């Protein structure tokens, strides 16, 4: 389980980050980091101890970068540099299937089935009730349980191999596990040139 965190400086400028460690450990790393990033410039200008670190929410490891950049875009943070290695949200558009919303590159729109452009909801309206809310141990435990649906990989309708989960397939094949899941659900036609299917459970 990863976390999304927020840093606020005395000028009320915001930085959004994500980490798979405890927030206090990530805070220590921020203190030691050197460089010309916007957040480091803010530390130097206002003093490290004058910045407030807050845990915003918990998130599954495989979804943390998508959610991080979702928040960067929505809150228009002043201290994030979204470019090069850190550009998962740049140039993407919002699309939805009526139930879920996600971001894709415009050129990939035709690869998806039954989706339309646009948002379902605005994270700003959710922020009052969800963002930053303390989660119960039960809810965190439930969300941290891995999806163990078996996934089968095909190429040109030829079976290749099976994986214990979309997360395992993504890790082994160096593909995004969330797009593999969308492929399994029929939202996306192909992923990385492959087709993926969830194993069907036989009814007793």
Query: DSSP assignment, residue 107?
Result: G
- pLDDT for the residue 7: 95
Per-residue model confidence as pLDDT tens digits over 91-105: 677 777 777 767 777
Q: Which pLDDT does position 141 carry in this prediction?
A: 42
Query: What is the CB neighbour count within 10 angstroms for residue 13?
Result: 16
For residues 161 and 168, what is the distance between their CA atoms, to the nearest angstrom?
12
The model's confidence at residue 202, banded by pLDDT at 50, 70 and 90, is low
- Tell me: pLDDT of 139 over 70: no
Please state, rounded to an integer, the average pLDDT across all residues of the chain: 77
Please say if the pLDDT value at position 162 is more than 50: yes
Q: What pLDDT is recorded for position 65? A: 77
Global pTM reads: 0.46
DSSP label at 70?
H
pLDDT at 148: 63
| Structural domains present in the chain | 2-117 (3.40.1440.10), 146-198 (1.10.10.10)
3-state secondary structure of 198: strand
Alpha carbons within 13 A on the beta-carbon side of 134: 2
DSSP class of residue 186?
T
| pLDDT for position 74 | 67
Distance CA 201, CA 149 (A): 10
Q: What pLDDT is recorded for position 186?
A: 86
- 118: confidence class by pLDDT, cuts 50, 70, 90: confident
CA 143 to chain centre: 14
Percentage of the chain lying above the pLDDT 90 cut: 24
């Amino acid at each position: 389980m990863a976390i999304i965190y927020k840093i606020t400086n005395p000028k009320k400028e915001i930085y959004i980050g994500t980490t798979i460690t405890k927030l206090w450990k990530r805070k220590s790393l921020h203190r030691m980091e050197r460089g010309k990033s916007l957040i480091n410039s803010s530390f130097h200008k206002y003093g490290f101890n004058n910045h407030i670190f807050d845990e915003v929410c918990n998130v599954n490891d495989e979804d943390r970068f998508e959610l991080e950049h979702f928040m960067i875009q929505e809150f228009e943070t002043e201290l994030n540099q979204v470019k090069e290695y850190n550009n998962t949200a740049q140039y993407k558009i919002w699309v939805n299937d009526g139930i879920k919303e996600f971001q894709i590159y415009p050129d990939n729109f035709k690869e998806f089935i039954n989706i339309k452009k646009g948002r379902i909801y605005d994270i700003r309206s959710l922020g009052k009730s969800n963002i930053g809310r303390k989660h119960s141990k039960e809810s965190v435990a439930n969300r941290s349980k891995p999806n163990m649906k078996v996934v089968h990989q095909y190429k040109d309708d030829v079976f290749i191999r099976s994986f214990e989960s979309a997360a395992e397939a993504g890790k082994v094949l160096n593909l995004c596990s969330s797009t593999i899941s969308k492929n399994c659900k029929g939202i996306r036609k192909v992923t990385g040139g492959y087709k993926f299917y969830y194993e069907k459970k036989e009814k007793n």
